[in-house]
Amino acid sequence: MQRRPLALGLATLVLAPLAACSKNDEAAPAAAAPARKPSGIEAYAIASKGSGFTTGAMMAANTVYVFFDTTCPHCAELWNASQPLLGKLKMVWMPIGLLRPSSLPQGATILAAPDPAKAMTENEASVLQRGGGISVASSLPDEVVAKVKANTELFRQLDADSVPLIVYRNAQTGQHGMHAGSLDTARLAALAGI
């Protein structure tokens, strides 16, 4: 049956080790935890309110949202893994300011770029080569900085603590969910149901 391999694929996703970046700052006061973690469908609705740039098939029936930090190497790995799927999958990449002081201005620089996907590719290549990421624009529009701050707040509403955070709807099963951590191309395709 075709459903059995899909179920096995989803089980593999659940059991796969996570490759994610998180901010572990014990000196920071703990934020008030949400009353409960949002359901998959609630998480998808929250993520859809974010601001990002879109890659892939614009007319795809399915959208995958990715919260990322510009300094996270696992986010860079996910960016690279997503490239072969862009003919089938629409992805919205939403920068947040989580890991380092440079995260927010670099995220705003990518959002404000004339070609955000090109700026993202430049940033992710630098991160994977252990560089500092994209150079921050000399002047960033306040409204773009505000978008990155708002994305960071949405990320917190999801009760998340590591990036990349993938918020998805599986195109085959209709199941909504969140996945923290990077995936290779095949596992990202299975998660999205394509």
54: containing domain: 3-10+37-192
Q: Are 173 and 193 spatial neighbours (Cβ–Cβ below 8 Å)?
A: yes
CATH at 56: 3.40.30.10
Give the Cα separation of 111 and 174 in Å (integer). Answer: 30
Domain count along the chain: 1
Cα Rg of the chain (Å, integer): 16
* Omega before 164 within 30 of 0, i.e. cis: yes
pLDDT in tens, 104-118: 999 999 999 999 999
Q: Is residue 30 part of a domain?
A: no
Q: Is residue 22 part of a domain?
A: no
Q: Is residue 19 part of a domain?
A: no
Q: Is residue 31 part of a domain?
A: no
Give the Cα separation of 39 and 48 in Å (integer). Answer: 14
Q: Is residue 26 part of a domain?
A: no
3-state secondary structure of 32: coil
pLDDT at 3: 40
pLDDT at 61: 79
From first to last of its 194 residues, the chain has per-residue pLDDT tens of 444 343 334 333 333 444 778 766 433 344 455 568 899 999 999 999 999 999 999 888 789 999 999 999 999 999 999 999 999 999 999 999 999 999 999 999 999 999 999 999 999 999 999 999 999 999 999 999 999 999 999 999 999 999 999 999 999 999 999 999 999 999 999 999 99
Q: Is residue 87 part of a domain?
A: yes
Burial of residue 188 (CB within 10 Å: 0-12, 13-18, 19+) is buried
Q: Is residue 16 part of a domain?
A: no
Q: Is residue 93 part of a domain?
A: yes
Instruction: Using alpha carbons, list the distances in angstroms from residue 9 to 12, 33, 47.
Output: 5, 32, 24
Residue 109 backbone zone (phi > 0: left; psi -120 to 50: alpha; other: beta): alpha
